[in-house]
Amino acid sequence: MKHPQLTAGLRLAGLAGLLACTLGSALAQEAVIRKNLAERLPALSKIDEVSKTPMNGLYEIRVNESDIFYTDAEGNFLIQGNLIDTRGKRNLTEERTEKLSAIDFDALPLKDAFTQVRGNGKRKLAVFEDPNCGYCKRFERDLQKVDDVTIHTFLIPILSADSVEKSKNIWCAKDKNKAWLDWMVRDQAAAKASCDTSALERNLAFSKKYKITGTPTVFFANGTRVPGAISAQEIEKQLASAAGK
């Protein structure tokens, strides 16, 4: 007669053994991929993560925090491009990249931004912009159509020396929001001003750390990053999505 507790114990032991074998095999496979790619492609000597994809025999390689490549189980081939789930009609590479590039909204250094509140201000977004960026001007004009939102603007003068000068004048203005909108929406340059502009340097360092390489780059409350100028309709869509996080 079998003892119920003994039988259950054996089953648990068997499952634990199977799990250990599976984990050991996965780690061994990862080691092979890392070793072969590092030897053959020195640029891939520092791989952040190796993980299986939904496609049998295909592995995701993540480097530089958010750059995605794919390889086989031996690291013999390297693929750069999008992995598409044709059944689900999903771009898995795009979804993964968006997840990796997301940011903790609450971790943004808001002291280095100027803030505008419209209506009830319940919805939130942060935007990194250069005053000489034409796409930023288009974005700001579309943003005028959006209400009930709090906007945190981070100046990152990356386009030219004149961008630095304009950013300093706007940051040092008595009313930063007015000076910003006067320039971006009404083409009225801010008066020359001086003050502590170390916030601009910190913004540039933050942008480098989080790979914010273009302007505008918008972040929503759920951490979603959207590069480039987007329409008022798309802004509303992203705000609604963030509110439902």
- Output the DSSP codes for 18-74: HHHHHHHHHHHHHHHHHHHHHHH-GGGSS-SEEEE-SSTT-EEEEETTTEEEEE-TT
Same domain membership, residue 223 and residue 138: yes
pLDDT score, position 45: 86
User: 145 by DSSP, 3-state: which?
Assistant: coil
Q: Tell me the per-residue pLDDT of 177-230, one tens digit each, with 9 for 90 and over.
A: 999 999 999 999 999 999 999 999 999 999 998 889 899 999 999 989 999 999
Q: Tell me the per-residue pLDDT of 149-162, one tens digit each, with 9 for 90 and over.
A: 999 999 999 999 99
CB 70 within 8 A of CB 33: no
pLDDT score, position 209: 87
Among the candidates 101, 132, 152, a domain finishes at 101
Round to whole Å and give the CA distance between 81 and 93. 8
For the chain, the 3-state helix, strand and coil shares in percent, each to the nearest 5, are 45, 20, 35
Same domain membership, residue 141 and residue 43: no
| Residue 171 belongs to domain spanning | 105-243
Domain CATH code at residue 44: 3.10.450.70
More confident residue, 166 or 9: 166
Same domain membership, residue 51 and residue 171: no
Among the candidates 50, 84, 101, a domain finishes at 101
Q: Tell me the per-residue pLDDT of 117-170, one tens digit each, with 9 for 90 and over.
A: 999 999 999 999 999 999 999 999 999 999 999 999 999 999 999 999 999 999
- Per the listing, tokens 């002291």 go with 111
Same domain membership, residue 60 and residue 48: yes
pLDDT score, position 16: 60
Report in angstroms the alpha-carbon separations of 117 from 126, 128, 184: 12, 17, 17
When pLDDT is cut at 50, 70 and 90, the band that residue 6 belongs to is: low
Same domain membership, residue 215 and residue 168: yes
* pTM across the whole model: 0.73
Same domain membership, residue 206 and residue 116: yes
Same domain membership, residue 224 and residue 159: yes
Round to whole Å and give the CA distance between 222 and 144. 22
pLDDT score, position 27: 76
Same domain membership, residue 38 and residue 136: no
DSSP 92: H
Same domain membership, residue 233 and residue 118: yes
Round to whole Å and give the CA distance between 121 and 147. 8
Among the candidates 101, 125, 157, a domain finishes at 101
Q: Could you give the number of structural domains in the chain?
A: 2
User: 152 by DSSP, 3-state: which?
Assistant: strand
Backbone phi, then psi, for 109, in 5-degree steps?
-80, 75
Same domain membership, residue 156 and residue 95: no
What is the distance, to the nearest Å, from the Cα of residue 152 to the centroid of all Cα atoms in its chain? 17
pLDDT score, position 22: 53
Domain CATH code at residue 129: 3.40.30.10
Same domain membership, residue 116 and residue 71: no
Same domain membership, residue 238 and residue 143: yes
